[in-house]
Amino acid sequence: MENLKRLFENNRSIVAEVTQADPEYFARRAGKQEPHFLLIGCADSRVPIETLTGVAPGEMFVHRNIANQALSADINVLSVLQYAVEVLDVKHVMVCGHYQCGGVKAAMGDQSYGLVDYWLAGIRDTVRRHDFELQRIASSEERFKRVVELNVLRQVYNLSRTPVVQGAWSRGRRPLLHGLVYDIHDGLLKPLVLQVDGNDKARELLETPRASIGD
Ligand code: CO
């Protein structure tokens, strides 16, 4: 109960602090939301992307699930995507993975975890598809990091294949797709692939080992 109480106390003191500096802060944001970003991230509690990127309420539309999946049969993420692209007209759709992702780790092992195994099946498939590359990474820690990155790239590719993104691109519209990884050791976001704006670039996603930052 102490922890829960702390949430309400923090909430009141943060609101008091913010409104003292800017009395209209919340009132201004209560109207229409016009976010520039959709973030698809992992549910992991160590990944507070909104806090660490300094976005204000109304700037980032967010969907989070275990291991930041964008699965073609997941009505939840597809609905979020459709609303973000077709109604909110977000410019940037970002998939953000993170190192030390428990979901990715679970998918790399042989142990069964019950229901969540179904959710993680796509990552197992990614591991299998990239077996050649992964087997050549001697360090198990580096291999783990690489699977985190490959998982992000695959989810960006998955997004590119959705009817929502295909439809937008065919009309010459945004969004731009981006793949990022968050390093929980130092708090920094690293771009893996940026500005995927069409099918040619999307096709390269699963073949290019690493995209350059300035891309
Ligand atoms: Co995770």
Instruction: Compute, in angstroms, the gap from residue 92 CA to the centroid of ligand 1.
Output: 21
User: Left (φ > 0), alpha (ψ -120 to 50) or beta: where does 211 sit?
Assistant: beta
Q: What pLDDT is attached to residue 139?
A: 96
Please check the confidence at residue 144 and state whether its pLDDT lies above 60.
Answer: yes
Reported as a single tens digit per residue, the pLDDT across 87-142 is: 999 999 999 999 999 999 999 999 999 999 999 999 999 999 999 999 999 999 99
Instruction: Compute, in angstroms, the gap from residue 202 CA to the centroid of ligand 1.
Output: 23
| Residues labelled as active-site residues | 42, 44, 46, 98, 101
Instruction: Compute, in angstroms, the gap from residue 108 CA to the centroid of ligand 1.
Output: 13
Q: Tell me the pLDDT band of 209, cut-offs 50, 70 and 90.
A: low
The single-letter code of the amino acid at 116 is V
Please check the confidence at residue 214 and state whether its pLDDT lies above 70.
Answer: no
Looking up tokens 């198990």 gives: 140
Q: Tell me the pLDDT band of 31, cut-offs 50, 70 and 90.
A: confident
Q: What pLDDT is attached to residue 206?
A: 79
Reported as a single tens digit per residue, the pLDDT across 165-207 is: 999 999 998 899 999 999 999 999 999 999 999 999 999 987 7
Instruction: Compute, in angstroms, the gap from residue 74 CA to the centroid of ligand 1.
Output: 18
User: Left (φ > 0), alpha (ψ -120 to 50) or beta: where does 197 sit?
Assistant: alpha
Query: Which chain residues have CB less than 5 Å from ligand 1, an ion?
Result: 42, 44, 101, 103
Domains observed in the chain: 1-31 (no CATH), 33-213 (3.40.1050.10)
| Distance of alpha carbon 80 from alpha carbon 215, whole angstroms | 27
Instruction: Compute, in angstroms, the gap from residue 11 CA to the centroid of ligand 1.
Output: 26
Q: What pLDDT is attached to residue 125?
A: 95
Instruction: Compute, in angstroms, the gap from residue 43 CA to the centroid of ligand 1.
Output: 6
